[in-house]
Chain A
Amino acid sequence: MRGHLIHTIFFTAVIMAVVLVAICLTETVPDAGGKPHPDYSGLQIGGDGAARLEHIGLLSFSFQCLLLIQITLLSTLGVPERYRTTELLSYMGGSLVLMLLVAWKMFFGHQAFLATQETDYFFGFPDATAWQTYGTWLSAIPLVLIYSLGFNKFIFSLEDEKKFNALLAEKNKNNR
């Protein structure tokens, strides 16, 4: 994968496009994108959640998972090829697993609510929404840590700095 990362990114983008087309071609349901609140102007409501997800639920969830995979692949593309070591790939893989887990808990937590109309709360929000609000934000923190803590190792090493300074010195010499 290391040498063919761009092909994997391309392949993922193509599958995302196919899923998007499939969603657009699926049988539509009324007010899938929300409708005005019957009593308050300016407010929108979602209405029947189960009906809105009936035809596109799994396709949409697949799109979300593909997006998370693409985010991880693109982050890896930002690391020079020689630093895409097993260590880096395992960090990136771990980060992806965490993001997918949060997406899973959110999506199927919502499905469970639709089936039972009951939910617990976590820090002010229904469980599924708490996974979305806190979980989605926190699940990308490993990517931030890989970048910041691994900066000298994976992003811009001392050797890289020397190479860049040499390049600048050449430029300045040529400009003189």
Chain B
Amino acid sequence: MRRTHDTSDFFIASRGLGPIVVSLALFSSTLSGFGFVGGPGLVYSIGVSSFWMVIISSTGYAVCFFLVSKRIRMIAELRDCISLPDIVAARYGSEAVRFMLAVTIVLGVMGYLATQILAMAVVMQAILSGTEMFADVGLVTCVAISSAVLIFYCVTGGIIASVYTDVVQGTIMIVAGALILIAATNVFDGGMQEATSIILADDAETVMPYGAAGIMSSLGWFFVFGLGLAGQPHIITKMMMNKDLRDNRSMLPLSLFGYAMAALLWVSIGIVMRAAVLDGRVEPLALPDDAASVFLSMFTNPLLAGIVFAGLFAAIMSTSDAFLNIGTAAIIHDIPKAIQGKSIKNDLFWARIVTVLLALVAASFALYSHFQDATLVALLGAFGWGTFAASIFPVVAVGLNWKGASVWGAVTAITVSLIINFVSQLAGYTFPYGVSGQLVAFVCSMVLFIGVSLISPKPSLASDIDRVLDI
């Protein structure tokens, strides 16, 4: 709390972080709790299809750095921006674009945040149920404890707390990824090849390049997770936080190295658990998401399992903090600024109040979803990444590199991607061959953003922004 004096500290750590800290924060924000739980579960369930979410990391990070890292950092310093909508408002000279982006962020954040709180509560309940004293603890209690810890942590620390938890989480994930790979290759005498041979004998497609989900699902993930990385606000906002612009040069390989090491956990656990179930070594899992916890309890020593669980909590805490942070910025800073031309008074005070309220709403939402409508959080969670990718990538990543990008192009791209994502998610519409609504939204958004900008009158840029886009 001593390091958080104003909203610049609270939201972007006053652009004072070094390259190693930002690199670890970048890659661990990308993986979050999903990397520990959902990732291995997906490989267990659909095989190699879900590898596509991971193996595109080198492409995704490269595109993200080429298109975003330099100019977002320059505009942030030049215009004292503290949020992504601030950046687009400066770039387009439009409060309408700021407003639409802020609303998109709030919508996406709610789903993500509820998912993270629920995940933290479920893991906490699973751990406590193994103890004598807390064996009967309920999920509501775990949600309350999780939310209280999260609120204390975020309100006092702001984004600095998130970034330093990312550092802890990132370091743990790098070490755990390497150790888990060693453990996984020792489960079968013939190593990973024996595991994949068992899967191939059962259903060859599962372990072929496009996996059980098929070629278009796989390519959809390649598109949405690869290019879409540069549209994730909780990730690219961190590119505004480094002290020196030249740090970008080393941040790209550092982030990628960290991600690759941590992703070993995602890939190896899922493959080995599927082979172990098919081979009869392990009972079929109740839920695919149990893959990581069952693997840790059966095939690793308790110390490594403890390290990974610590990493999991750090992952959930830091990701939740990052989402609370960008959601709060949208509510107390961007939406008021778009409507009345200025953010609210006593913004640091209100940032803390809104952080508490957002966490409480997301916790209630998570509980409602868990007990009343189990699909709601999952729907909004899935809606989050795809919506961010489809609506933010063209507007930010292309818009920061092309002077011809217009307000109309930006408004059209955001509107269309929101509509397609909402309709396909809420109506449950499925396209043939596993083509996802997110992929359709992203492709439409790209075409419309550039197409509408090309036929719009040439936009006039503020002189400083014009000069930044020349650099």
Contact = CB atoms under 8 A, between A and B. Distances in A.
Interface of A: 6-7, 9-10, 13-14, 16-17, 20, 23-24, 26, 28, 32-34, 37, 40-49, 52-53, 56-57, 60, 63-64, 67, 70-71, 74-75, 77-80, 106-107, 109-110, 113, 117, 119, 121, 123-126, 128-129, 131-133, 136-141, 143-144, 147-148, 151-152, 155-156, 160-161, 163-164, 167-168, 170-171
B192 to A, nearest CB: 3
Contacts of A128: 208-209
Interface of B: 44-49, 51, 55-59, 61-63, 65-67, 70, 74, 77-78, 185, 191-193, 195-197, 200, 202-217, 219, 222-223, 226-227, 245-246, 248-250, 252-253, 256, 260, 267, 274, 277-278, 284-288, 397-398, 401-402, 404, 431-435, 439-440, 443-444, 446-447, 450-451, 454, 464, 467-468, 470-471
Contact of B59 (A107, A140, A160, A167): A140
A168 B66 contact: no
Majority SS at the chain B contact face: helix
Nearest to B446: A13
A144 B260 CA distance: 14
21 contacts: A6-B402, A6-B404, A9-B450, A13-B443, A24-B432, A43-B45, A43-B284, A44-B47, A46-B210, A74-B398, A75-B66, A77-B401, A117-B204, A121-B193, A121-B196, A123-B192, A132-B48, A133-B267, A136-B56, A136-B59, A137-B55
Contact of B252 (A28, A52, A138, A147): A147
B471 A33 contact: no
A136 B431 contact: no
B401 A141 contact: no
Contacts of A132: 48, 51, 55, 209
Contacts, number: 259
Given A24-B433, A34-B434, A40-B284, A78 B67 contact: yes
B215 A156 contact: no
Contact of B214 (A20, A32, A155): A32
